[in-house]
Structure 1
Amino acid sequence: MIQIRTASSDDVALLATLNHIVHDLHNRHRPDLFLDSPERVAVEAFFRAQIADPSVTVLLADGTEGKALGYALARVKSRPGSALEHSDVIVSLDQIAVVPDAARSGVGAALLEAVREVGRSAGCRRLVTDVWYFNEGARAFYQAAGFSPMNVRLDQQL
């Protein structure tokens, strides 16, 4: 059984441990952007700051006996309108990670639905996220969850 709960400052060490799931993948594919071995203290400070930010919700998925199965970090963003664009309030899924042993067991889907609920509760119109091109598993997950491409971000070394 999967239980989704809001993380607290007591969870920063756990979140720092879970973060390696995503970070290691990113570092393998883009070592020019992602540190090889981020300092644990810095990663914990990052999560502590995120938890303290009122626009951010960090969610934890717990399994049986309270074992952590994954997390999601969501941020509510407001954008004022302009001469060209409507104003908008969105929830952005900035990070999501599931422990490998729990992959394809519904943990990611449960975290995603909890992020949707965060957005609905905040009056958001849309849920947005981005995914690295090399992360085929995440792209398939989001496509299966009903996401569709919105834009393409390009990169070039100089």
Structure 2
Amino acid sequence: MTIRRATTADMPRIDDLLFQVAEVHHRGRPDLFKGGAKKYTDDELAGILADDSRPVFVAVDADGRVVGYAFCVFQQHPNNHVLTDIKTLYIDDLCVDEQARGTHVGSALYRYVLDFARRSECHNVTLNVWSCNPGAQAFYEHMGLTPYRIGMEQIL
């Protein structure tokens, strides 16, 4: 397996994986997430792939098939009255193909993102995980992440 920056040639497989993530969220919270939804249009996805402030990495198996991705975003808060101006790499989305889960693709992607963040002189790596996805939460905790902020709701 290799991990590299995603290109527009990867878009069809990225779309497949984005759909898998959307379905996990829809099953967990159908009140919030639409079923069968596509997260990005082709133009939006192409724009993200071309944006160095939003790097996307793909894991590619020995057959050249994209089996996972990590969408990342650099974040900083310059001149903020409350927050320090640290550089953060936020993982907006990390997905491993359902058929490749349990083969350490997610671990390899996450470690690659960590190394990229270190090379980019980031202070930390952050992400959000939905409470309706306990498998993802357990994976991230296993990778060494700890909660630093908790979102709460009351449904009316």
Q: Distance in 2 between matches of 1:153 and 1:36?
A: 23
Partner of 1:6: 5
Contact kept? 1:76, 1:119, Cα under 8 Å: no
Partner of 1:91: 89
Partner of 1:28: 27
Higher mean alpha-carbon deviation, 135-144 vs 117-126, is at: 117-126
Please list, as runs of the form range in 1=range in 2, the aligned pairs for 1:77-116 lying within 5 A after superposition: 77-116=75-114
Write the deviation string for residues 19-70 of structure 1: whole angstroms up to 9, x where unpaired.
1121100011222322222259x54333212112221111111112112211
Report the secondary structure of 1:87's partner residue: coil
Report the secondary structure of 2:34's partner residue: coil
Deviation at 1:117, TM superposition (A): 2.2
Deviation at 1:125, TM superposition (A): 0.6
Deviation at 1:82, TM superposition (A): 3.7
Q: Distance in 1 between matches of 2:78 and 2:8?
A: 31
Q: Distance in 1 between matches of 2:42 and 2:3?
A: 21
Partner of 2:73: 75
Please report the TM-score for the alignment, with normalisation by the length of structure 1: 0.90
Structure 1 runs of 4+ with >4 Å offset = none
Task: Please tell me the residue identity of whatever aligns with 1:155.
Answer: E
Contact kept? 1:29, 1:134, Cα under 8 Å: yes
- Aligned CA RMSD, in angstroms, stands at 1.7
Contact kept? 2:19, 2:38, Cα under 8 Å: no
Partner of 1:65: 63
Partner of 1:17: 16
Q: Does 1:50 align with 2:48?
A: yes
Structure 2 unaligned blocks of 5 or more: none
Q: Distance in 2 between matches of 1:84 and 1:111?
A: 32
Assess, with a 3 A threshold, how the Cα gap between structure 1 residues 39 and 148 changes in structure 2: closer, same or farther.
closer
Please list, as runs of the form range in 1=range in 2, the aligned pairs for 1:138-149 lying within 5 A after superposition: 138-149=136-147
Please report the TM-score for the alignment, with normalisation by the length of structure 2: 0.91
Contact kept? 1:15, 1:47, Cα under 8 Å: no
Identity %: 29
Deviation at 1:110, TM superposition (A): 0.8
